[in-house]
Structure 1
Amino acid sequence: MRKSLMRMTLRQLQVFRSVCEQRSYSRAAEDMALTQPAVSLQIRQLEELVGQPLFDYIGKKLYLTDAAEALQRASADIFGRLESLDMQLADLQGSLQGQLSLAVESSAKYLIPHLFAAFRRDYPEVGLQLVVVNHAQAVRRLSANRDDLLIMSQVPADMALEFLPFLNNPIIAVASPDHPLCAREQLSLQDLTAWPLLLREAGSGTRQAGEEYCHQKRAHFPQTLEVGSTESQLEGVIAGLGLALLPRHAVRRELQSGALCELPVGELPLLRSWCVVHPRGKYLSPVAQAFFAFVRNRRSEINALAERFAAAAPGSTPGS
């Protein structure tokens, strides 16, 4: 190892990480409660130790060099290990403490707070940093090792990942309650294609799963409307703009209140599994290990929680 690297300080790495996150020396100075010259000095000293420039300015925008990206990954590992040490020391004192960094696909955001609340009853001193992303963003975060754990429904087969399926994620067809299809007792996917289908943005896991399944069943929708979120899909369907394929967990309140109608489509629900995922070989903090073990060992409790949480409209059976 280069002797110069041994002279790096944690403070320098903290300043460096702030500049990386803020993409600005001045905003990093505000974040770190330092002056801008002090930030510049810390980065300059760090560049001397590394032996390469860390940032480039192009068109008044700050970009990370290859050396900076390598240092960013190393610093994330260093601070992750320190946080893990803090958790282990707390564990030795008889309590698990620390923060779980968790990324979830957006259609799971309705359920995961309830799941974490159940986990926190066992570990009341654990905090949560929750990031909601679409499927494409989740894959990028896995590649960059940004989070302790991710929860997603379609695990990429071309990545070296450890994953644990823990809960069914049923995708159903919904319409506004006054839609003509709601009066039908039995439908096929093909019956839905005469109406517009509201879709999430490209990169959404629910959209990808729905499109692949409809293609497999030869149900082609000539009219589609793209919206930017599950909430927009819900409002669009309620407003009568069309139909949507959505996770039952995400529409439970609207089904219970009668604001939406679940269509009796013979080929649905489309069943996918929620999985807790991390890169293979990743060092898991004690908090992440505890959460992974909770999901693995408490399946019956999680299923019961999901059934209460995702109860379907009156008269239908949850999870059917």
Structure 2
Amino acid sequence: MNYTLHQLKIFLKIFENQSITKASEELHLTQPAVSIQLRNFQDQFSIPLTEVVGRKLYVTDFGKEIALAAEKILKEVDEINYKTLAYKGELVGKLKFSIVSTGKYVMPYMLSNFMSQNKGVDLIIDVTNKAQVIESLELNKVDFAMVSVLPKKLNIERVELMQNKLYLIAGKRGLNNAGLTKKKLFEQSPLIYREVGSATRVAMEQFIIKNKFDVRKKIELTSNEAVKQAVIAGLGFSIMPIIGLKNELMNNDAQIIPVKGLPIITKWNIIWLKSKKLSPTAKAFLEYLRSEEEQVIKDNFNWIDAY
């Protein structure tokens, strides 16, 4: 057999996603490229690895065995690479993060220099809502999580980062309604929500309840980016973090509507389970973060102070 490590990676990703389309997205390859590699891999076995029922792809029982073997092989290859780098005195290993969706505007800057200084470190970041982030942390699937609202039921350690400010935001097309009173603005204009499980949604709902607004028109979207685009397009208003609106505010595609009681201010935090035994790589990242976070914030996020 002459299968390659590349083919093993592709087949394992197909197994994990049960989909060529999703596998191609995660691997940043075209669907035809993934399909060709799957076919070439299959040609080396006399027993089917996958089958298509209706329009859905399924991995056969034999395919599952091959996928598990592929996972072990790839882990061994990683170990060889790590040991080679470690022998040369370089920091090696994996860092796994789960971060809330608006954290994607912050976390890359906190990691950039660390990753460039440590070529032997592999990075995995899952971007999702707060509920899923906390679940990943609780189940020990990740080393660190990034949240703006601390979980109450977990025993955690944390590094406090920068402020997270939430304002009422409108696009150009929604500004005609901005002259309404605060009560009428919330009760007569469409309000765009994040999905259930989002910390932004919780903060927004708490503000509405506190002010006893009767919101009649609601739109729900499942990512901060989707909410931003909907606001810019004039679908409605939303209370959202300013962190993801730098270009839109500078270009006047979006504007802050002054409202008493806003902004809502929380803090970004890097958190981890107190009981977790951190790897040398994870400890090195924390040491870097504690020493460099102020400079990273100064270099990249000073623009927020203007609002």
TM-score using structure 1 length:
0.67
SS of residue matched to 1:180: helix
For the residues of structure 1 that align with 2:286 and 2:79, how far apart are their CA atoms? 15
Does the Cα contact within 8 Å between 2:100 and 2:133 map onto a contact in 1? Answer: yes
Q: Does 1:262 align with 2:248?
A: no
SS of residue matched to 1:155: coil
Does the Cα contact within 8 Å between 2:109 and 2:296 map onto a contact in 1? Answer: no
Displacement of 1:155 in angstroms is: 2.0
Partner of residue 210, structure 1: 204
SS of residue matched to 1:118: helix
Q: Does 1:201 align with 2:195?
A: yes
Q: Does 1:239 align with 2:228?
A: no
For the residues of structure 2 that align with 1:255 and 1:36, how far apart are their CA atoms? 59
For the residues of structure 2 that align with 1:285 and 1:254, how far apart are their CA atoms? 40
Partner of residue 123, structure 2: 128
Give the 3 Å change call, closer, same or farther, for CA 217–181 of structure 1 in structure 2: same
Q: 1:173 aligned to 149, 168, 175, which one? A: 168
Displacement of 1:168 in angstroms is: 1.1
Displacement of 1:292 in angstroms is: 2.0
Displacement of 1:38 in angstroms is: 11
Gaps of 5+ in 1: 1-16, 40-59, 63-71
Does the Cα contact within 8 Å between 2:165 and 2:242 map onto a contact in 1? Answer: yes
Partner of residue 287, structure 2: 293
Q: Does 1:229 align with 2:223?
A: yes
For the residues of structure 2 that align with 1:107 and 1:183, how far apart are their CA atoms? 29
Gaps of 5+ in 2: 1-11, 24-37, 50-56, 60-67
Q: Does 1:149 align with 2:151?
A: no
Partner of residue 8, structure 2: none
Q: 1:160 aligned to 148, 155, 161, which one? A: 155
Does the Cα contact within 8 Å between 2:85 and 2:120 map onto a contact in 1? Answer: no
Displacement of 1:271 in angstroms is: 0.9
| Equivalent residue letter for 2:208 | C
Give the 3 Å change call, closer, same or farther, for CA 175–19 of structure 1 in structure 2: closer
Displacement of 1:208 in angstroms is: 1.4
Report Cα offsets for 1:151-194 as digits up to 9, x if no partner: 1112210122222221211111100124135569xx75775443
For the residues of structure 1 that align with 2:131 and 2:240, how far apart are their CA atoms? 18
Question: 187-196 or 115-124, which moves further after superposition?
Answer: 187-196
Question: 118-127 or 150-159, which moves further after superposition?
Answer: 118-127
RMSD (Å), alpha carbons? 4.0
Report Cα offsets for 1:201-252 as digits up to 9, x if no partner: 1111211122123323434423211122222212221222210111111111
SS of residue matched to 1:203: coil
Q: Does 1:307 align with 2:301?
A: yes
Does the Cα contact within 8 Å between 2:162 and 2:267 map onto a contact in 1? Answer: yes
> Which aligned pairs between 1:9-158 and structure 2 lie closer than 5 A?
21=16, 35=45, 90-91=85-86, 93-158=88-153
SS of residue matched to 1:159: coil
| Identical amino acids, percent of aligned pairs | 23
TM-score using structure 2 length:
0.70
Query: How many correspondences in the alignment?
Result: 265
SS of residue matched to 1:298: helix
